[in-house]
Amino acid sequence: MKKEKINSIKYKNFIDGLKLLNIRILSSGTSVDEKFLPPANLELNQRKKYIKTEGNIFKVIHEYTLKGIKNGEASPGFKIKVKYQIIYKSDIPITDDIFKIFSQTNLLLHTWPYFRQFVHEMTNRMGLPPLVLDVLKIK
């Protein structure tokens, strides 16, 4: 069976009919090595998935993991992990093709500001200089 290719009009219609109902943190965790001091290279990983619920309501689980690793070190000096749950209602049902585009663009617009703020606050609470992540750049 041939997969449907999503066109820009269909995606625009999906976005136009999209409502963000709720966003919350499901889990979070931080760790820092007691001897760690910046500078460090940052490594950011994300995992994203969606779950259809009832009608045209769907949940997205978006997990960020940020690690600070010093040159020459194997393990991170600090780690911050946050898992968000976002609930949406849409006029057009979500599909894998729509989610592929959505997860690389609009989803990031919804979660990145929260993650940036969380990282800034947690690095400060970890006794590190408050880390300000770059603003979001959508391709």
- Identity (one letter) of the amino acid at 80? I
Query: What is the pLDDT, as a whole number, of residue 5?
Result: 67
For residue 116, the domain's CATH number is 3.10.420.10
Q: What is the pLDDT of residues 46-66, one digit of tens each?
A: 999 999 999 899 999 999 999
139 found inside a domain: no
Q: Contact 68/80 with Cβ under 8 angstroms?
A: no
Query: Residue 107 domain-assigned?
Result: yes
Give just the sign of the alpha carbon dihedral 94, 55, 83, 18. positive
116 within a domain of the structure (yes/no): yes
| Total domains present in the chain | 1
**Alpha-carbon torsion angle 102, 28, 134, 60, nearest 10:** 10
DSSP codes joined into one string, the chain: -PPPPPPHHHHHHHHHTEEEEEEEEEEEEEEE-TT--S--EEEEEEEEEEEE-STTEEEEEEEEEEEEE-TT-SS-SEEEEEEEEEEEEESS---HHHHHHHTTTHHHHHHHHHHHHHHHHHHHHTTSPPP-PPPP---
- In the block, which residue shows the tokens 């959505």? 102
**pLDDT, position 3:** 52
User: Does the bond joining 38 to the residue before it have cis omega, within 30 degrees of 0?
Assistant: no
Domain containing 94: what range? Answer: 19-125
Is 2 inside a domain boundary? no
* Dist. CA 137–CA 86, nearest whole Å: 21
Taking the complete model, does pTM exceed 0.95, yes or no? no
Q: Which residues of the chain have pLDDT under 70?
A: 1-5, 138-139
